[in-house]
Amino acid sequence: MTRAASRNSSAPAIEPRAFIILIAVCVALLFAIAANAHEIGKTQVQASLRDGAYQIDVVVDPDALLPTLEAYAAGPISRDLPRDERDRRIAALSQVFLERVRVSFDGRQAASVFEYLPSSAFNDFAQAPSKVRLRGTVPEGASGFAFTYGLALGTYALNLRIGDGPVQTQWVVGGATSDPVALAAPLPPPTRAEIGRQYFVLGFTHILPHGFDHVLFVVGIFLLTSKWRSIVAQVSTFTVAHSITLALTMYGIVSLPAKVVEPMIALSIAYVAIENLVVSELKPWRLALVFSFGLLHGMGFAGVLRDLGLPRPAFLTALVTFNVGVEAGQLSVIAIAFAACAYWQHRDRLAYRRFIVVPASLVIALTGLFWTVQRALA
């Protein structure tokens, strides 16, 4: 018998995520140890509901099934019977089986037809399991299915398939009734196009309206110069860089803790804004810096994406469309900034720099520095 105990602590009313997880892990671990666990047994139930009928195959160990049925029949317990005789007696105890094993729809027990398929029907191995097959009709208008297997002194897996839907598995304790299952087939999994659309929107909304820090970074890039070529060069460099780290991080090739990434992103915002105050043309080092900052932002995007979760069957689709959504969000920021400033960019460049670039960059720089400190201390 295994033993352990709980570890508990008086957690504050609002905890950071890491602390909450830490506490939960401790508690989970310690109770896992104390769980007085049992091994999973040999009994399995495969249920299929289709076209108004059900078929339930209970896979059992016949050497255990016979004494169990005999015990519940309140008769003498057989010992060491030949296989044929054992199987004959199991089949003869069908009524006991049907009393202890119930198929119900909307809480009402259904009348099942019992059929015993001994292991010899499948192969000649002495230890091979047998099957008991229950068949019947799903009542008209039934909406919920439940199953009770009152012959197990342990846990068994109930695998249920409704129509062409996916297999649903429940772990049920012998004697207990399974959780009711809705008879409407579960919704089909989303298509690739639906996943793509969903992750595109997630990527876009991560920039607009949720990504204030990324917006400020992009505005910082925009403010350096009014030359389109320079803006495009910077945005393209940033895009390539963050796409690289987003993919590498999501595939688990590189990793940096959020504790490091977050303040660095904030610092990158401050840097581009401060540089806007001292230079007014695109310099080569600026592109190199934007590239390295892009690498950091990519890890930030990966953090979001990891938290949102990527659907395993469409991992690449979700990754790519999320990235495209991020790009669309960034281009929208540029477009809005351009619409707001285009008049002054072309009419009076000096006034544009004096009254727009300098004060806006100053505010962005201060904000970036504030976030840097705030995130470093968080």
Partner 1 sequence: MRRFFTPSTIVPVAIIAAVAAMVAVANLRSRASRASYGRQANWRPLGTRGAGTGRADLGRRIAELRTAVTKRPEDVGAAVMLADALVRQTRITGNAGLAIEAEGVLKRALANDVSNYDANRALGGLLLSQHRFREAVTVGERNRDARPYDAINYGVIGDGYLELGDYDKAFEAFDTMMSLRPSAAAYARVAYARELQGNLTGAIESMKLAVDATPPDDPEALAWHRAQVGDLYLRLGRMHEAESEYIAASHAFPGHPFAMVGYARLLTARGEPGSALALLQELATTAPTPDLAARIGDLLAQLGRRDEAERQYALAEAGWRSDAPEPKNLARFLADHDRKIPEAVTIAVEASAQRHDIFTADALAWAYFKAGRIALARQAIAQALRTGSTDADIRAHARAIEAAAGQAAVR
Q: Which is nearer to partner 1, 73 or 331 (CB)?
A: 73
Nearest distance, CB of residue 260 and partner 1, angstroms: 11
308 binds partner 1 (CB under 8 A): yes
> Which residues are CB-contacts of 87 (< 8 A; sequence separation ≥ 6)?
62, 116, 118, 120, 130
CA proximity to 361, closest of 278, 287, 277: 277
Write b or e for each residue in 164-197: b if 16 or more Cβ atoms lie within 10 A of its Cβ, otherwise e. Answer: eeeeeeeebebeeebeebebeeeeeeeeeeebbe
Q: Which of 88, 227, 306, 346 is close enough to bind partner 1 by CB under 8 A?
A: 306
Helices (H), the chain: 17-33, 62-72, 83-92, 94-100, 192-207, 212-224, 228-250, 258-278, 284-308, 315-347, 349-352, 358-377
Cβ 125 to partner 1, closest distance in Å?
16
Question: How many Å apart are CA 148 and CA 100, to the nearest integer?
Answer: 8
Stretch that binds partner 1, among 59-67, 106-114, 277-285, 325-333 (CB under 8 A): 59-67
Shortest Å distance, C-beta 53 to partner 1: 27
Place of tokens 């008209």: 140
Residues 314-353, interacting with partner 1 (CB under 8 A): 340-341, 343-344, 348, 351
Q: Is 127 in the site for partner 1 (CB under 8 A)?
A: no
Binding of partner 1 by 41 (CB under 8 A) = yes
The pair of structure tokens assigned to 203 is 């990527």
**Is residue 17 within the footprint of partner 1 (CB under 8 A)?**
yes
Q: Are strands 155-162 and 44-50 parallel, antiparallel or unpaired?
A: parallel
Kindly provide the b/e burial profile for residues 46-66, where b requires at least 16 CB atoms within 10 angstroms of the residue's own CB: bbebeeeebbbbbbbbbbbbb
Q: Which stretch binds partner 1 (CB under 8 A): 60-68, 118-126, 130-138, 279-287?
A: 60-68
Question: Least separation, in Å, of the C-beta of 41 and partner 1?
Answer: 4
Answer yes or no whether residue 22 interacts with partner 1 by CB under 8 A.
yes
155 is a contact residue toward partner 1 (CB under 8 A): yes
| Encoded tokens for 97 | 């089986």
Mapping DSSP onto H, E and C, the string for 192-231 reads HHHHHHHHHHHHHHHHCCCCHHHHHHHHHHHHHCCCHHHH
Q: Is the Cβ of residue 53 or residue 71 nearer to partner 1 in the bound state?
A: 71
The set of residues, in sequence order, having a beta carbon less than 8 Å from that of 290 and lying 6+ positions away, is 221, 234, 237, 238, 241, 272
Nearer to partner 1 by Cβ, of 82 and 141: the residue is: 82
Counting contacts by CB under 8 A, is residue 38 touching partner 1? yes
> For residues 62 and 119, is the Cβ–Cβ distance under 8 A?
yes
For residue 26, state whether it binds partner 1 (rule: CB under 8 A): yes
Choose which of 45, 47, 49, 60 interacts with partner 1 (CB under 8 A): 60
Binding to partner 1 (CB under 8 A) within 348-367 occurs at 348, 351, 355-356, 359-360, 363-364, 367
Q: How far apart are CA 212 and CA 221, in angstroms?
A: 14
Choose, by CB under 8 A, the member of 118, 196, 294, 300 that binds partner 1. Answer: 300
Shortest distance, position 126 Cβ to partner 1, whole Å: 14
Contact pick of 90, 134, 162, 215 for partner 1 (by CB under 8 A)? 215
309 binds partner 1 (CB under 8 A): yes
Q: Which of 261, 274, 295, 318 binds partner 1 (CB under 8 A)?
A: 261
Binding residues for partner 1, rule CB under 8 A, total 101
Mark the segment that binds partner 1 (CB under 8 A) among 45-53, 100-108, 113-121, 152-160.
152-160
